[in-house]
Amino acid sequence: MCYSARISFTTFFIGIYIAYEIWTRDASRVFNKNYDFWNALFILSFISMQFAEGLAWLNYDIARYLVVYIVALQPVIQSFGNAYFNNQPIFYIPVIIGFLMMFLIRPPGKIGVGPNGHLDWFVRFDNNWSYVFYFLFYYSFMAIPLLWQKPIQRFSPLLIYGILILIYSIYNYRETGEFSSMWCFLAIGYAILAYLLNRKTL
């Protein structure tokens, strides 16, 4: 993200710590322990982007390839969490589709720094149809599985926060190519919400 490798790696380790706390906290302290397992896995899937971006700041070319697979795994992990931890086996279908659709994505030609000082990267596709089809899938299955975290009025802030930071990132950084990086960074707030919302006492 943002301004340096140090910030990216720091954000990564904060996210790892939150995921660890969520995964290991006692079931007696939470509303639904299976949601903890699901959320912790999903946090790992998106916080890993901060590790890749830290490498990008240090000019390691492998970062271009890491961002592809990290992006591709996010809706897969979200769907798997609902299928496995929430007993919704129909969501194994988008898990399988998501793995197959990895073949549509190409790594960024380069990762640079945009005019606002944030990393500038975007995964590539061979044609516009692949782009449209993939991102319809991506945004749908980043969001839809969350509708199965019940009661919805308790856990809806996760979905609302994800949508709001996406809109904010696209609106403010769509012309510079920095919105992917910014959205991934702001997603750290999702981890904090996931920790708080599943406590027995809000």
Please give the chain's pLDDT, 202 residues, in tens. 557 889 889 989 999 999 999 999 999 999 999 999 999 999 999 899 889 989 989 999 999 999 889 989 999 999 999 999 999 999 999 999 999 988 888 887 777 777 777 777 777 788 888 888 998 999 999 999 999 999 999 999 999 988 888 888 777 766 666 666 666 667 788 999 999 999 987 6
Q: Which of 79, 8, 67 is nearest to 42 (CA)?
A: 79
Name every residue whose Cβ is closer than 8 Å to that of residue 19 and which is 6 or more positions away in sequence. 40, 41, 43, 44, 47, 191
- Whether 147 is covered by a domain: the verdict is yes
- Whether 115 is covered by a domain: the verdict is yes
Q: Give dist(CA 6, CA 195) in Å, integer.
A: 24
Angle in degrees, CA 133, 99, 75, rounded to 5:
65
- Whether 11 is covered by a domain: the verdict is yes
- Whether 36 is covered by a domain: the verdict is yes
Name every residue whose Cβ is closer than 8 Å to that of residue 166 and which is 6 or more positions away in sequence. 139, 183
- Whether 156 is covered by a domain: the verdict is yes
The count of structural domains within the chain is 1
- Whether 84 is covered by a domain: the verdict is yes
Q: How many residues does the chain have?
A: 202
Q: Give dist(CA 35, CA 112) in Å, integer.
A: 37
CB 74 within 8 A of CB 45: yes
- Whether 202 is covered by a domain: the verdict is no
Range of the domain at 150: 5-197
- Whether 113 is covered by a domain: the verdict is yes
Q: Strands, DSSP E only, in 15-125?
A: 105-106, 112-113, 119-120, 124-125
Q: Give dist(CA 34, CA 13) in Å, integer.
A: 23
